[in-house]
Structure 1
């Protein structure tokens, strides 16, 4: 099983102006750096929580069909775009939309309504493409945006190479903001 980003988000949850205001930066000299730090902060928030913040496209690849509904591991899931199976001839066949249903939730699941065709190859013969994310920047919860602000500020203040300073975990304030959003794994 693998999860692959197919379509990256078209924007960021916070604008450059919002981040510069939070950082109290009035000049334009570091705009490129601040933009990169904010993008890194979004990536870290998504990695820690397992969420997709802005609308983005994902592909879940499976080797075989599970006996339970298929769990989509990048919430919140907006929709399933397609479900495809590769045959022995190498051709991908897309299932009809009526053959599966999205079960919303955290995590969302895909329920197959009828026995699906078996993949014709041993590895990676099933693809489920889906759209995930809260939507646009206005739909991203404020606690996640605040975690991004704090993390961007942390990155901005600690720009020394990691070899010259002790590498630490997330700042406590960021960890506290992200804690309710983390998926607990056993």
Structure 2
């Protein structure tokens, strides 16, 4: 089974504010020459960390289309977390979407989110479309352990704007960021 996800409703804001990043990199808050640049690094760092841990941090609505969903498939994990709600499901038959009753499926919210069939013996479909809301809420609700790797990466990229700086040790991503992201991935449970 393959899937494709698109964003139906973009997040209202980034998970980290300009003030949080400036405080993290010890930049005076009244210095505003590079504010747009810093926020572009925050946007890029957010996408990087979200992809690495299969999460979306600020509330947004996604649509995932699962192709090759056969009657043998009883449940599937939604590819993005934390799942707050499932808004709509539809079967695609001969190119047409037919909405299905959400009560026919069990929905698991959180990390990872999942859907499972409650009714079996379903007719074969070409695909299943799932619209769902993911995220922790607005930026103020995003946990500190999620914000930290975003701030570290944005600060790292701000301080090192070139891919190679002569006379220094070259690193692609600060090692501790990989450790922080690793703790956010599915299946990573606190000790």
Do the aligned residues in 1 keep the contact of 2:12 with 2:138 (CA within 8 Å)?
no
- Residue 12 of structure 1 aligns with which residue? 14
Aligned partner of residue 70 in structure 1, secondary structure: strand
Do the aligned residues in 1 keep the contact of 2:6 with 2:63 (CA within 8 Å)?
yes
Q: Sort the Cα spacing of 1:80 and 1:54 in 2 relative to 1 into closer, same or farther, 3 A.
A: same
Q: Sort the Cα spacing of 1:68 and 1:97 in 2 relative to 1 into closer, same or farther, 3 A.
A: closer
Aligned partner of residue 57 in structure 1, secondary structure: strand
Do the aligned residues in 2 keep the contact of 1:85 with 1:117 (CA within 8 Å)?
no
- Residue 73 of structure 1 aligns with which residue? 79
Aligned partner of residue 42 in structure 1, secondary structure: helix
Structure 1 runs (4+) greater than 4 angstroms displaced: 163-167
Query: Structure 2 stretches of 5 or more lacking a match?
Result: none
Which of 78, 91, 96 is 1:91 aligned to? 96
Structure 1 residue 37: Cα displacement: 0.5
Do the aligned residues in 2 keep the contact of 1:72 with 1:108 (CA within 8 Å)?
yes
Structure 1 residue 105: Cα displacement: 4.6
Aligned partner of residue 9 in structure 1, secondary structure: coil
1:174 aligns with 2:180: no
Aligned partner of residue 92 in structure 1, secondary structure: strand
What CA distance in whole angstroms lies between the structure 2 residues aligned with 1:97 and 1:183?
25
Aligned pairs, how many?
A: 179
- Residue 157 of structure 2 aligns with which residue? 155
Structure 1 or 2: more helix by fraction = 1
Structure 1 residue 102: Cα displacement: 0.7
Do the aligned residues in 2 keep the contact of 1:85 with 1:118 (CA within 8 Å)?
no
What CA distance in whole angstroms lies between the structure 1 residues aligned with 2:164 and 2:172?
15
1:44-90, CA deviations, whole angstroms, 9 ceiling, x for partnerless residues? 111111111111111221223252312101111111111111232x3
Query: Structure 1 stretches of 5 or more lacking a match?
Result: none
State the TM-score, normalized to the length of structure 2. Answer: 0.83
Which of 126, 141, 144 is 2:143 aligned to? 141
